[in-house]
Chain A
Amino acid sequence: MPIIEVSGLTKTYRVPVKGEGLGGSIRSLWSREYKDVEAVRDISFQIDSGERVGFLGPNGAGKTTTLKMLSGLLHPTSGRVTVAGFTPQDRVVAFLSSITLVMGQKQQLLWDLPPRESFALNRAMYGVDPVRYARTLDSLVTMLRIEAVLEKPVRNLSLGERMKCELVAALLHEPSVLFLDEPTIGLDVEMQVQVRKFIHDYNHDTGATVILTSHYMQDIAALTPRLLIIDRGSLRYDGKLTSLAERVAPERRIVVKGGPSELGELGFQRVEGDMVASLSPEGTNQLLSRVLARWPMVEVSVESPPLEEVMARYFREAT
Chain B
Amino acid sequence: MTRSAPDPRPEPRLREVLLALARVALMNALQYREGFLVEFLVGSGNVVAILLPLAVVFGKSSTVAGWTWDQSLLVTGFFLLTSAVMGGLVEPNLGAVVEGIRQGQMDYLLVKPVDAQLASSLMRIAPAKIWDALSAVVVIAWGLHGTGMPGPLALLACGTMLVAGLMAMYSLWLLVICLSFWFVRVDNLRYLLGAVTDAGRWPVDVYRGVARIFLTVAVPVALATSWPAMALLDRLDGALIAQAVAVGGGSMLFSRWAWKRALRSYSSASS
Residues of A that sit less than 8 Å from B by CB: 13, 64, 68, 71-75, 91, 93-94, 96-101, 103-108, 110, 112-113, 117, 120-129, 136, 139-140, 143, 174, 181-182, 202, 205-208
Q: How many residues of B contact A (CB 8 A)?
A: 36
Decide: A126 near B12, CB < 8 A? Known: A96-B112, A140-B1, A202-B1: yes
Q: How far is the CB of B221 from chain A (nearest CB, A)?
A: 31
The residue that B20 contacts in the complex, of A13, A94, A120, A182, with Cβ under 8 A, is: A120
Point out the residues of chain B lying under 8 angstroms from A108, CB to CB: 105, 108
With CB as the reference atom, state the residue of chain A lying closest to B106.
A73
Q: How far is the CB of B53 from chain A (nearest CB, A)?
A: 38
Point out the residues of chain B lying under 8 angstroms from A75, CB to CB: 264
Q: In the bound complex, do residue B12 and residue A124 qualify as a contact, i.e. CB atoms below 8 Å apart?
A: yes
Q: In the bound complex, do residue A73 and residue B10 qualify as a contact, i.e. CB atoms below 8 Å apart?
A: no
Chain B 1-39 near chain A by CB (<8 Å), digits 1 or 0: 111000001111100110111011001100100000000
Point out the residues of chain A lying under 8 angstroms from B266, CB to CB: 73-74
With CB as the reference atom, state the residue of chain B lying closest to A179.
B111
Q: How far is the CA of A89 from the CA of B154 in the complex (A)?
A: 47
Decide: A136 near B1, CB < 8 A? Known: A93-B11, A127-B16: yes
Interface centre among B264, B266, B271 (most CB of A within 10 A): B271
Chain B 98-133 near chain A by CB (<8 Å), digits 1 or 0: 000001110110111110000100000000000000
The residue that B110 contacts in the complex, of A13, A91, A208, with Cβ under 8 A, is: A91
Q: In the bound complex, do residue A128 and residue B271 qualify as a contact, i.e. CB atoms below 8 Å apart?
A: no
The residue that B108 contacts in the complex, of A101, A126, A143, with Cβ under 8 A, is: A101
With CB as the reference atom, state the residue of chain A lying closest to B107.
A73
Q: How far is the CB of B182 from chain A (nearest CB, A)?
A: 11
The residue that A74 contacts in the complex, of B13, B31, B268, B271, with Cβ under 8 A, is: B268
Point out the residues of chain A lying under 8 angstroms from B264, CB to CB: 75
Q: In the bound complex, do residue B119 and residue A64 qualify as a contact, i.e. CB atoms below 8 Å apart?
A: no
Could you give 27 example pairs across A and B, Cβ below 8 Å?
Answer: A64-B270, A64-B271, A73-B110, A74-B267, A96-B112, A97-B9, A103-B107, A103-B271, A106-B104, A106-B107, A106-B269, A107-B108, A113-B27, A121-B24, A124-B17, A125-B113, A125-B114, A125-B119, A126-B10, A126-B113, A127-B16, A129-B10, A136-B1, A143-B1, A174-B3, A205-B1, A206-B3
- Count of inter-chain pairs, beta carbons less than 8 A: 115
With CB as the reference atom, state the residue of chain B lying closest to A201.
B1
Q: Which are the 6 A-B pairs with shortest beta-carbon distances? A: A124-B20, A127-B12, A108-B108, A96-B113, A127-B10, A97-B9
Interface centre among A112, A124, A143, A206 (most CB of B within 10 A): A124
Q: How far is the CA of A143 from the CA of B119 in the complex (A)?
A: 30
